[in-house]
Copies of this chain bind each other. A is one copy, B any other.
Amino acid sequence: MYDVAERSGVSIATVSRVYRNPDSVRAETRDRVLDAARSLGYVPSGNARGLASRTTGVLGLCFPDYADPDAETGAEAEAEAEADDSAVMLYSDQIIRGMERAARRHGYALLIAASLVGGPESLVAKVAGRVDGFAVLAKTVPTEDLEVISRRLPIVMLAGPREIDHLDHIEVANSDGERELARHLIRDHGLRRLAFVGGERESPDAQARFRGYQEACREAGLPVADEPDLRAEMMTQAEGERTADALLDRAAGRERPEAILFANDQMAIGALHALERRGVRVPDDIAVTGFDGIPLSRIVRPSLTTVRQPMRRLGEEAVGLLIHRLADPTRAPVSLMLPVSVTRRSSCGCG
C-alpha cells in the first residue's frame, strides 16, 4: 500500500479511501491510484484491514465431521467416488448453501470448517478469530468453548437444544413433524399397531420425535408407550437393520406391528434392507418411515416416507440472526423453530 501511495504520488490514506469509499477521492486521483495498484499487483490485506477496522466481512459455520478425512485413500475412497454424489449429499452441504447465499446477499463471505476436536488451536478457534459471527451445528463444539467465544462475538446455535440461554438459536419442529407423520399413518392408512425406534437417550432430536409420536398415539386413543420400542445407539443403517430384525423376532408368533417409525432416515433405510431380506413387503406387510428427508430417502426402493427438515432455510435464517445481532448486539436472544413437512412416498403406502 505504501508502494502504491508512493507510485501514485499520494498518501496511504488516500489509497485506503480509494478502496473504502471511492467517491471521496477525486476521479483523477483515484484512477492514478488504481493504475499504480494494478501495475504493482497490489492486493489489500484483509488481515490488516480487519485488524484496523475490527470487522472481517466474513461469517462462519462450524459443522461436524461428516466423514473421516483421513480415509481418503484406497478402495473405500474409490467406491465412494463412484457412488452418485447426490446420494451422499449431507445436511451440512445444504446448510452451507443456504448460508452462503444469504451471506452473499448481505455482502459477507462464508468461512466453513468441520470441527476437529482439539486444543486451543482447534479449527473452531481459528474460525472464531476470523469472522464477525458464526453458526454452530449442535454437537460440534464443546459448550464451554462457545460460552467463552460468545462473550466476544455473535454465535447462533443450529438444530439442537438451546444449550446456552443467551445465544440466538434455531431448531426444527421435530415433535410436530413426527406427530404429523404418525397421524397420517393412523388416520389416512388406518394403522393401529405402531412401533417407534429411537436413538441414544441423549439425542434431544430423537427424544422430541418420540414425544411427537406419543402425542399422536394419545390423540388417537392408542396405547401410549413410555419409551421407544427400541433404541439404537448410533442411528446408522446398520443399527436400522439390527433393530428391524429385533423387532420382528420379538413379534414372532404374535401380531407384528403394522408400521415402524424410525427416528431418522438412515435407520429406516437400513430397516428396508432387513425387511427385504426377510421377505417382508413394504408397505404391504408393514409401513416404514424415517425422519430428515435426506436425498437417499427418495432414491431407495420403496421410496421412503419421511419428514423433511428445511436445512437450506436453516442456513438462511442463521445468517439473518447473525446480521441482526451484529446490528444490535443488545437485543434479546432469539429462538426460532422452523416448520418441517411430511413427505409422503411409497414406504407408507402413498407412493
Contact = CB atoms under 8 A, between A and B. Distances in A.
Interface string A69-102: 1101000000001101111010001101100111
Contact of A89 (B42, B93, B129, B152): B93
B114 A104 contact: yes
A41 B147 CA distance: 8
Contacts of A111: 58, 109-112
A160 interface: no
Interface string A46-59: 11111100001110
A310 B81 contact: yes
Interface string A107-125: 0011111101001110101
A105 interface: yes
A113 B104 contact: yes
Given A18-B120, A121-B19, A43 B109 contact: no
A237 to B, nearest CB: 17
Given A41-B148, A81-B310, A69 B101 contact: yes
Contacts of A42: 148, 152
A121 to B, nearest CB: 6
A49 B129 contact: yes
A50 B20 CA distance: 21
Nearest to A144: B38
A82 B341 CA distance: 9
Contacts of A22: 119-120
Contacts of A81: 310, 312-313
Contacts of A94: 85
B112 A100 contact: yes
A266 to B, nearest CB: 15
A137 B76 CA distance: 28
Contacts of A93: 89, 93, 96-97
A270 to B, nearest CB: 19
A266 B139 CA distance: 38
A12 to B, nearest CB: 15
A149 B101 contact: no
Contacts of A89: 85-86, 89, 93, 295
B130 A72 contact: no
Nearest to A101: B69
A56 B153 contact: no
A42 B153 CA distance: 11
A116 B104 CA distance: 9
Nearest to A55: B47
Nearest to A85: B94
A311 B93 CA distance: 14
24 contacts: A19-B121, A20-B121, A22-B119, A38-B148, A41-B148, A41-B149, A41-B151, A41-B152, A43-B128, A43-B129, A43-B152, A46-B50, A47-B50, A47-B130, A48-B51, A56-B130, A58-B111, A82-B341, A86-B89, A86-B295, A89-B93, A93-B93, A100-B114, A104-B123
Interface of A: 18-20, 22, 34, 37-38, 41-51, 56-58, 67, 69-70, 72, 81-82, 84-87, 89, 93-94, 96-97, 100-102, 104-105, 109-114, 116, 119-121, 123, 125-130, 148-149, 151-153, 295, 298-299, 310-313, 316, 341
